[in-house]
Amino acid sequence: MITVFGATGTTGAPLVDALLAKGVKVRAVTSDPAKLDKLKAKGCEAVTANFTDTAALEKACAGADRIYLVTPAHLDMRQWKANAIKAAKAAGVRHVVLATGLGASPKAGLTFGKWHSETQELLKESGLDWTFVQPTYFMQNLLWQAGSIARDGVYHDDLGGPVSWIDARDIAEVAAEALTGEGHAGKGYGLTGPEALTGEDIAAILSEVTGRSITSAPLAPDEAKAAMISGGMQDEVAAAMVELASIAPKGYLASIETTVSDVLGRPARRFRDFVAENRDAFVK
Ligand SMILES: NC(=O)c1ccc[n+]([C@@H]2O[C@H](COP(=O)([O-])OP(=O)(O)OC[C@H]3O[C@@H](n4cnc5c(N)ncnc54)[C@H](OP(=O)(O)O)[C@@H]3O)[C@@H](O)[C@H]2O)c1
């Protein structure tokens, strides 16, 4: 049995699908009882547990050999993951595949890298087997502004430099392999897509795929932060997002990792294909 936390989320949902496709028994966890039926319809067990409820977390881990642990980007995410790691240990879980972020390490200089590193170190100290999946920006983030791209024909670029975007389905498939295969314990998997793209590159792909003229317009850090806060993100988390984006113009988010092809034996998905699959979202 594998327990998947964050099972309705951007990486958790395709992970449940990938594990079920491998014929593995899955227990999907949500904090929202209204989502249980949809999860069960996939063919897995489904339970509710909030990251604040240690007893429910332990129940969600009972009988599971391995778990996938992801939380949303949230000020409490270190405490939430600490609760889940404690519950996993108490329930007898052997191996935790932990979703963090590219660059997370004790040497990290940026807030997200430090936050994620704290949890990575905690998991190492727990004595459980661990694998870290450390992705860069998700291609799926583009869907956050699909409405305005469709309406105005403008891609708002808050990065201002090249980024090696990854498809969240590739993160999920690497996690699925780490959860079911051998030889992944003690590994930190930095994950990127196969190419680094600027805002202009993304606008060109959107234009080509939709047949519309879509331009890229820079989005200033203050505007980006305000947009994230108005979308429900906490102030400090939005500030950490803006801080991370600030290193893109220097080229620091452009590195390409070969982990997806190394682990899965096939190339990482390309941005153009992601846009083509989601074409309707970018058209009025
Ligand atoms: N987006 C990016 O570009 C990017 C890049 C690098 C790293 N990351 C990292 O990736 C992580 C986010 O991954 P993701 O996008 O897969 O996650 P996500 O979709 O943001 O969230 C996963 C799930 O967590 C559940 N959840 C929310 N609050 C909860 C609570 N209190 N208790 C239990 N479950 C709760 C939600 O499902 P329910 O409503 O069903 O409970 C949600 O679907 C963050 O740590 C972020 O820093 C993101």
Helices (H) and strands (E) in the chain, counts: 12, 9
| Residue 226, in any domain of the structure | no
What domain count does the chain have? 1
Which pLDDT does position 26 carry in this prediction? Answer: 98
| Residue 272, in any domain of the structure | no
Q: Could you tell me the CATH number of the domain that includes residue 130?
A: 3.40.50.720
For 119, the token pair is 């949890």
Q: How remote is the CA of residue 214 from the centroid of ligand 1, in Å?
A: 30
| Residue 158, in any domain of the structure | no
| Residue 95, in any domain of the structure | yes
Cβ-Cβ contacts under 8 Å for 55 (sequence gap 6 or more): none
pLDDT tens digits for range 5-43: 999 999 999 999 999 999 999 999 999 999 999 999 999
Q: Which long-range contacts does 148-151 make (Cβ < 8 Å, 24+ apart)?
A: 149/206, 149/214, 149/282, 150/281, 150/282, 150/283, 150/284, 151/284
Mutate to test the pocket of ligand 1, among 4, 5, 10 (most ligand atoms within 8 A of CB): 10
Residue 282's pLDDT band (cuts 50, 70, 90): very high
Helices 221-230 & 235-245, crossing angle to 10 degrees?
140
> Side-chain half-sphere of 204: how many Cα atoms within 13 Å?
5
pLDDT tens digits for range 255-265: 999 999 999 99
Q: Report the C-alpha gap between 222 and 157 in whole angstroms.
A: 13
Rg, Å, the chain Cα set: 19
Q: How remote is the CA of residue 53 from the centroid of ligand 1, in Å?
A: 17
| Residue 116, in any domain of the structure | yes
Residues with CB under 6 A from ligand 1: 6, 8-12, 30-32, 35, 50-51, 70-73, 77, 99, 101, 112, 135, 137-138, 141
Q: Which helix (H) or strand (E) holds 235?
A: helix 235-245
Q: Report the C-alpha gap between 284 and 276 in whole angstroms.
A: 15
| Residue 201, in any domain of the structure | no
Single out the residue of 162, 131, 181 nearest to residue 18, CA to CA.
181
Strands 66-69, 95-99: parallel, antiparallel or unpaired by DSSP? parallel
| Residue 181, in any domain of the structure | yes
| Residue 114, in any domain of the structure | yes
Query: What proportion of the chain, given as a percentage, has pLDDT over 70?
Result: 100
pLDDT tens digits for range 130-188: 999 999 999 999 999 999 999 999 999 999 999 999 999 999 999 999 999 999 999 99
Burial of 211 (0-12, 13-18, 19+ CB in 10 A): exposed
CB 1 within 8 A of CB 27: yes
Q: Is 225 helix (H, G, I), strand (E, B) or coil?
A: helix
Q: For residue 23, what are the domain limits?
A: 2-136+168-191+256-264
Does the pLDDT value for residue 75 go beyond 90? yes
Does the pLDDT value for residue 284 go beyond 90? no
Which residue, by CA, sits nearest to atom 25 of ligand 1? 6
Q: Report the C-alpha gap between 176 and 35 in whole angstroms.
A: 22
Which pLDDT does position 35 carry in this prediction? Answer: 98
